Each structure stands twice: as C-alpha cells, then as structure tokens.
Amino acid sequence: MTDADVTAVTLFQATMAVPGRVIPRVPVIERAIGVGEARFVQVGCASCHVPRLPLTQDGWIFTEPSPLNPAGNRRVKDGPILSVDLTAQELPQPRLQPEGGLLWVPAFTDLKLHDITDGPNDPNREPVDMNEPAGSEAFFRGNSKFVTRKLWGTANEPPYFHHGMYTTLREAVLAHGGEAAQARAAFNALPEAERDAIVEFLKSLQVLPPNTPATVIDERGQPRDWRSIF
C-alpha cells in the first residue's frame, strides 16, 4: 500500500458514524434499561468502563499523520498533514457535537490496561505476550493485561472479550477476574432480574443504521429523549 492508501483507510475509519443507543418504546424494556444503567454503576463496572470521556481544546479535530505516531509510522515531518473536523455534518451520521467547549465521548472505557484474569491458570490469559520481543522470557510469560474494551456498539459486535471466545454478553461479564473480580462478585450478588437488567442495558449500546438522525433512537429508528444517569 502507498502512503496515500494508508491515509485514505485511516480517514475512512476515523470518520465513521458514532455508535449510539436503541431504546424501544416498550415500558418493560425501558424500565429494565434504566435499572441496568444504575446497577452497572453500582456494582463497579463503570470504574473501568467509564461511561464518557471528554475531548477538549478542539480534540475532535483529527489529523493524519498524528503527532503521536511512533517511529516506523508516517509522521508529521514526512509530508502534508490532513485535518478533519469529526463533528462536521457532511460526514456520515450520527455524530457527536461539542457543548461548552467539551465533546463527551460515550465509549464506556478508560483506555487503560487492567489485569482481568484470576492468575496463571485462568483460561482467559494469553499464552504469549505479543508486546514483548518474540522468544524472550517475557514473551513466554504470557499476558493478562488488556485495554478496557469500548462498549459503545457492543451489542451488535459479537463475539466478546479480548479473544472473542464468548458469544453472549453475560458470558463476557462473568469472565472478568483479577482487578474486576469484586465487580463480578457484586454482579453475581444481585437478584436475577437486576443481572438481566444490566444485560438489557448493554444490549441498548448499538451501532446504528447509516444516517440515523440521532444517537438515541427507538426500535423504529426514530429519535427519542432518554434521561440517562451517565
């Protein structure tokens, strides 16, 4: 691929429409989603899956190449810089919009590494650490730390977990260990209906159809108001 090809692919990905939420106008489902939001926070899921993060100082202006690109990648000094306003209405919809100089991104992540496994025999550990030199002792020690997965769009992006071995959201929740063991225990301690409500909330986080007019819609694709606790 040429530099131009890489730039084109990068900009295509950067300007994709943002995920949103589908909340049916069905009272029992609405109630479940509302309870699920609250319990998601209560049991500690939101300590890592932070519901929203701010972009400040025009952080929604995407540039290619990025000034943060490490050596071995195309860098600022290597040629022209392309800039795109990710809030522009000409881009695929829906899009986020800044408010009061901040743009809140509801990605449900802290973008940090966490050990979410229960020790060396946990089946969710990776047998080798691809971040270490191949063949080194550290390489063969394996890996148990993973960047917190973004949950926006998660409902229609199975399979789940870092290895893609789980086919349901509930399986992925129950697979959390290590730093997330306390949250898992709190989840398991909830009444069954409230555990189901958390899953129902997660099911509302979806990739929306192209050119959807809002980031929160009902089952018919129509915009709707939703007073989220986030």
Among candidate residues 35, 37, 44, the one with its CA nearest the CA of residue 21: 37
At residue 38, the pLDDT reads 98
14 inside domain: yes
3-state secondary structure labels for all residues of the chain: CCHHHHHHHHHHHHCCCCCEEECCCCHHHHHHHHHHHHHHHHCCHHHCCCCCEEEECCCCEEEECCCCCCCCCCCHHHCCCEEEECCCCCCCCCCCCCECCEEEECCCCCCCEEECCCCCCCCCCECCCCCCCCCCHHHHCCECEEECCCCCCHHHCCCECCCCCECCHHHHHHCCCHHHHHHHHHHHHCCHHHHHHHHHHHHCEECCCCCCCCCEECCCCCECCCCCCC
Same domain, 167 and 142: yes
pLDDT(58) > 90: no
- Tell me what pLDDT residue 1 has: 87
The C-alpha atoms of residue 40 and residue 3 are separated, in whole angstroms, by 43
Specify the pLDDT at position 195. 99
Q: Domain range spanning residue 96?
A: 1-19+57-103
- Split into its structural domains, the chain has a count of 2
Chain centroid offset of residue 109 CA: 6
Long-range pairs, 215-224, Cβ under 8 A, ≥24: 215/18, 215/20, 215/21, 215/94, 215/96, 215/106, 216/20, 216/21, 216/23, 217/20, 217/21, 217/22, 217/23, 218/22, 218/23, 218/24, 218/25, 219/22, 219/24, 219/25, 219/26, 224/23, 224/25
Which of 73 and 189 is assigned the larger pLDDT?
189
Q: For 159-180, write each residue's pLDDT tens digit.
A: 999 999 999 999 999 999 999 9
pLDDT of 4 > 90? The answer is: no
Longest dimension (CA), the chain: 58
Confidence category of residue 150, pLDDT binned at 50, 70, 90: very high
Instruction: Report if residue 208 sits inside a domain.
Output: no
119 inside domain: yes
Q: State the pLDDT confidence band at 96, using cuts at 50, 70 and 90.
A: very high
Which band of pLDDT confidence, cut at 50, 70 and 90, is reported for residue 146? Answer: very high
Q: How far apart are CA 195 and CA 188, in angstroms?
A: 7
Average pLDDT over residues 44-52: 98
Of 103, 119, 139, the residue that ends a domain is 103
Structure-block tokens of residue 100: 């009061």
- Identify whether 90 is part of a domain: yes
Pair (68, 135) in one structural domain: no
Q: What is the pLDDT of residue 72?
A: 86
31 & 120 share domain: yes
Looking at the structure, tell me whether residues 139 and 159 fall in a common domain.
yes
pLDDT digits (tens, 9 = 90+) for 197-220: 999 999 999 999 999 999 999 999
Give yes or no: residues 182 and 82 share one domain: no
Query: Percent of the chain at pLDDT above 90?
Result: 86
- Beta-strand pair 205-206/216-217: unpaired
pLDDT digits (tens, 9 = 90+) for 59-83: 999 999 999 888 888 898 888 899 9
Mean pLDDT of the chain: 95
pLDDT of residue 226: 94
Q: What predicted TM-score, i.e. pTM, was given to this entire model?
A: 0.92
Residue 216 lies in a domain: no
Q: Within this chain, do residues 36 and 69 fall inside the same structural domain, yes or no? A: no
Over residues 106-131, the pLDDT tens digits come to 999 999 999 999 999 999 999 999 98
Does residue 190 sit in the same domain as residue 124? Answer: yes
Instruction: Region of 145 please: left (phi>0), alpha (psi -120 to 50) or beta.
Output: beta
